[in-house]
Structure formats: C-alpha cells, structure tokens
Amino acid sequence: MTTPVDRPIPGTEEIVRYAPRTRIAHWILVLAFLLLALSGLAMFYPPLYWLSNLFGGGDIMRAVHPWIGLVMVVAFIAVASQVFTHMRMQARDRQWLRQLGDVTANREEKLPDVGRYNAGQKLVFFSVITCATVLLLTGLEIWRAYFTAYFPVELTRLASLLHAFFAFVLILTIIVHIYAAIWVKGSVRAMTRGTVSYGWAWRHHRAWFRDVTRSAARK
C-alpha cells in the first residue's frame, strides 16, 4: 500500500509530504551524489587526490565513477518524476525572489504565500535538472572505456571542460540545498519520515497547507 501524499494523517497534526519510494530514491540520490562529488573532486583538483583512497585507489575510483553517475541519473529521474508538476514558476515566486533579503533574514511573514515549493527550491530543481542532463551527456562522451573513441578529440576536450563546469555548478547548488535543509528546521523530517507538522506547513508553505487541509476536509 502506498502512503497518500499531500494528505493529513488523521488524529495527528502531521501532513505526508513524501511517499516512501520518493524518500528512498532521494537517499540513493544523496549517496550517489556524495560519491560522485568526492571522486570527481579527486580527479579535478590534485591536492584532493587523496580522496581516491576512499574508493580503494585511483583506478577503482575512475572505473566506478561513471557507473555511479548512471545510478544518480536514475535516482534523480525517480525523484524528479514525483515533484516536477509542482515546479512551475508563478508570479508569487517572482515576488518571493525579489524579497530574498526577507528570506535570508527569516522574515517569512513578509513573503507571499508559498505553494508546495518556494522559488528557491524551484531554482534548485532547475539547476539540478540542467546540470544532471549536461553531466550525463558529457560524462558518456568522456567515458573512455566505451564511448570516447567514437568522437573527435576536440569534442572530448569540450565535454571534459563542460563536465567539470557543470559539476561545479551542481556542487554549489547542492550546498545551497543542504544548507536550506539545516537552516529551515523540520525540513529534514520530510525526507526521513515523510511528514511535516501543521505549523511547519503553515509557516513555510501556506498555500500548500490550505490546499492539503481543504481537500482533506472535503473528503
């Protein structure tokens, strides 16, 4: 039986935000990203080459990195397919972005009501989807064991550069994503247990809270 998402749990003050399959896919995605970032940085920046020891040596790291990349892409598709319908930018999101000063100063009462995701989360989503696409394509191109020989070397040079650049952008994006989870208390629970409190939903995603509770009341 799948847990119904966006539904209050009767008898509690909690709302289900993420189904188990989304949570599991998310944490596979986390693990894959961490391994990719560590091995990628080891291959990108010589003073960090020691990170290759975490993988049992440089050659093993080089061999597993692309396979973990494929795992990340699959896990990302699994998560993205659950959330992308809520990611459309709206007028209130643009207003939210204009008030970034209020956002970072925790003055949430001054911000427009937020739906299931705020503009920052949507930007993170678009950044990750862009980076993941470019990293997949360029990663396949520079996957020496299988594909690189079929392409001209100039393309391989461009792909190597783009792969490094978009990995850099992705790492920055994920730093923002992780920090937001640490900063906005009660968020991590949505991804570990799947639920958030009424108060959390009211404070951070008021329009979503109203949608969820009203549709539950109608039933």
Partner 1 sequence: MSLQSLDIIRRSATTIPAPAARGAHTGEVAKLIDVTKCIGCKACQVACMEWNDLRDEVGTCSGTYTNPADLSDQSWTLMRFAEYENDKGDLEWLIRKDGCMHCADPGCLKACPAPGAIVQYANGIVDFVEENCIGCGYCITGCPFNVPRISKKDKKAYKCTLCSDRVGVGLEPACVKSCPTGAIVFGSKDDMQRHADERIVDLKSRGFEQAGLYDPAGVGGTHVMYVLHHADKPEIYSGLPKDPRISTMVRLWKGATKPLAVLAILGAALAGVLHYVGVGPNEVTKEDEEAARRELEKQS
Q: Among residues 190, 192, 193, 183, which one has the least CA distance to residue 208?
A: 190
Alpha carbon distances (Å) from 79 to 55, 69, 165, 167, 179? 26, 15, 24, 19, 19
Cβ neighbours of 39 (radius 10 Å): 23
* Of 65, 163, 177, 205, catalytic: 177
Q: Provide the residue type at 52 as one letter.
A: S
Look up 205 and say whether it is catalytic.
no
Is residue 186 a contact point for partner 1 (CB under 8 A)? yes
Is residue 129 a contact point for partner 1 (CB under 8 A)? no
The CB-of-174 to partner 1 minimum distance in angstroms stands at 10
Binding mask 79-108 for partner 1 (x = CB under 8 A): -------------------------xxx-x
Is residue 67 a contact point for partner 1 (CB under 8 A)? no
The CB-of-113 to partner 1 minimum distance in angstroms stands at 12
d(CA 62, CA 48): 14
Binding mask 1-40 for partner 1 (x = CB under 8 A): ------------x---------------------------
Q: Which of 5, 31, 184, 207 binds partner 1 (CB under 8 A)?
A: 184
Is residue 219 a contact point for partner 1 (CB under 8 A)? no
Report CA torsion sign: 203, 205, 210, 216: negative
Strand order across the beta sheet in which 14-16 lies: 7-9, 14-16, 195-197
Q: Among residues 131, 120, 139, which one has the least CA distance to residue 178?
A: 120
Residues that bind partner 1 (CB under 8 A): 13, 41-49, 52, 57-59, 61-63, 104-106, 108, 142, 144-145, 148, 153-154, 156-158, 160-161, 164, 168, 171-172, 175-176, 178-179, 182-186, 197-204, 209-210, 213-214, 217
The catalytic residues are 177
